[in-house]
């Protein structure tokens, strides 16, 4: 580490405890050692290593990158903590980065607050923190401040994570759900429902021969590639809980338009389609953690789609529909049999504890 305090703490940072106990949330020596070992030791940046109650961000650098700050926060309670293609740590960083990226913001810094259950293996926490740092490095962000709380055994489920993020929005961008216009085209960057299916596999609720990995990944670099060819993208949103059905309904309601999609155009793994048929699930509502929905002007659709397909996170990108004037505030799907059905907002919860 570069920071002198980090060098001072590092030799004494390794915890002897193998599981979390209540003293690790007491504010005393045990908590300080936990933070120095697991968090300062993994996240490795001067702002965090200063061990202050806040991170100080230079304003000059922020102002040079744009004219608005984007700020978001999210809490992750996924079960199980580790699943094919990801874990709660990767999910927390990627999810917050993506919430910033879909307004065009360049993600800069994150916070990390954890609620730990007494008895959690310290090595599990180290593994999650290492995954968070690897994902943060891939996304070009730093985790610069945080908080730690410990609750009694049985009061939580192992580990909950909250991450908040700050990004800078370049001048001139206006990406918002209200901006959808009749004639626009609807794009997605790849196979839908993989994260929801991966969680089902990890919970042993699906007996599949083929493993379905979660699509969990930070998407800022993909968004940057899209904006490079079309700075006037109208809407962007990552399709997490509630899937693309929820996102499209949010767009339709905010812009008073109709989102018309085509069932045959939806990119879906055969394994996901099969699992949905067996369990009676609708893939339109399955969670994604590395998929976005974009509404773009028709004249720019081919260029944006090509940019998406040229990026590793968009190789299976597809055009799935178009925006129409009526019926306003609705989502209509043309089925594979030639009929139509209304795609409503999700009612209830298909899969709890998904992210």
Has residue 111 got a pLDDT over 90? yes
pLDDT above 90 (res 3)? no
Once rounded to an integer, what is the mean pLDDT over residues 247-255?
Answer: 98
With the C-alpha atoms ordered 52, 58, 59, 63, is the resulting torsion angle positive or negative?
Answer: negative
Asked if pLDDT for residue 7 goes beyond 50, the answer is no
pLDDT (0 to 100) of residue 351? 80
Is the pLDDT at 76 greater than 60? The verdict is yes
pLDDT at 118: 98
Q: Lowest-confidence range among 5-14, 73-82, 173-182, 191-200?
A: 5-14
**pLDDT over 50 (residue 12):** no
pLDDT(189) > 90: yes
Backbone angles phi, psi at 235, to 5 degrees: -140, 145
Please give the average per-residue pLDDT across 320-347, as a whole number: 95
Q: Identify the pLDDT of residue 16.
A: 87
- What pLDDT shows up at residue 207? 67
Q: Is the pLDDT confidence value at 190 over 90?
A: yes
Judge whether residue 216 has pLDDT over 70.
Answer: yes
Answer whether residue 348 shows pLDDT above 90: no
Task: Grade residue 11 by pLDDT with cuts at 50, 70 and 90.
Answer: very low
Mean pLDDT value of segment 124-141: 98
pLDDT for 88 beyond 70: yes
Distance CA 231, CA 150 (A): 45
pLDDT at 279 over 90: no
Average pLDDT for residues 258-283, to the nearest whole number?
92
Question: What per-residue confidence (pLDDT) applies to 139?
Answer: 97
pLDDT cut 90: percent of the chain above it: 82
Examine the pLDDT at 331 and tell me if it is beyond 90. yes
Q: Stretch 37-44: mean pLDDT, rounded? A: 93
Name which of 50-64, 83-97, 255-269, 286-300 the model is least confident about: 50-64
Q: How high is the pLDDT of residue 274?
A: 86
Tell whether the model's pLDDT for residue 14 goes beyond 80.
no
The pLDDT of residue 317 = 98
Domains and CATH numbers, the chain: 4-54+65-169 (3.30.1330.10), 177-342 (3.90.650.10)
Least confident of 68-77, 172-181, 267-276: 267-276
Q: pLDDT band at 8, cuts 50/70/90?
A: very low
pLDDT band at 13 (very low <50, low <70, confident <90, very high): low
Considering only residues 104 and 6, tell me which one the structure prediction assigns the higher pLDDT: 104
- Reported as a single tens digit per residue, the pLDDT across 24-39 is 999 999 999 999 999 9
Tell me the per-residue pLDDT of 139-185, one tens digit each, with 9 for 90 and over.
999 999 999 999 999 999 999 999 999 999 999 999 999 999 999 99
Residue 206 confidence (pLDDT): 66
């Amino acid at each position: 580490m570069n920071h002198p305090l980090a060098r001072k703490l590092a030799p004494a940072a390794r915890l002897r405890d193998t599981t979390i106990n209540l003293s690790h949330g007491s504010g005393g020596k045990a908590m300080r050692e936990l933070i120095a070992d697991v968090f300062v030791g993994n996240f490795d940046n001067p702002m965090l290593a200063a061990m202050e109650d806040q991170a100080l961000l230079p304003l000059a650098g922020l102002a040079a990158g744009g004219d608005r700050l984007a700020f978001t926060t999210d809490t992750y309670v996924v079960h199980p903590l580790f699943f094919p293609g990801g874990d709660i740590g990767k999910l927390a960083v990627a999810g917050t980065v993506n919430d910033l990226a879909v307004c065009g913001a360049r993600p800069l810094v994150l916070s990390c607050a954890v609620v730990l259950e007494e008895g959690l293996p310290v090595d599990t926490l180290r593994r999650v923190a290492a995954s968070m740092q690897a994902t943060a490095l891939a996304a070009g962000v730093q985790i610069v401040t945080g908080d730690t709380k410990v609750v009694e055994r049985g009061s939580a489920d192992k580990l909950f994570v909250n991450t908040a993020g700050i990004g800078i929005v370049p001048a001139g961008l206006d990406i918002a759900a209200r901006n959808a216009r009749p004639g626009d085209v609807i794009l997605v960057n790849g196979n839908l429902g993989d994260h929801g299916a991966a969680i089902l596999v990890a919970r042993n609720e699906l007996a599949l021969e083929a493993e379905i990995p979660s699509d969990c990944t930070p998407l800022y670099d993909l968004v940057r590639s899209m904006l490079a060819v079309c700075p006037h993208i109208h809407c962007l949103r990552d399709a997490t809980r509630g899937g693309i059905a929820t996102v499209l309904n949010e767009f339709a309601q905010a812009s008073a338009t109709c989102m018309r999609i085509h069932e045959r155009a939806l990119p879906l793994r055969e394994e996901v389609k099969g699992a949905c048929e067996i369990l009676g699930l609708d893939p339109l509502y399955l969670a994604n953690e590395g998929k976005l929905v974009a509404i773009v002007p028709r004249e720019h659709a081919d260029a944006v789609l090509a940019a998406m397909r040229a990026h590793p996170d968009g190789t299976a990108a597809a055009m799935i529909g178009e925006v129409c004037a009526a019926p306003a505030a609705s989502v209509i799907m043309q089925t594979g049999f030639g009929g139509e059905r209304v795609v409503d907002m999700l009612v209830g919860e298909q899969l709890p504890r998904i992210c």
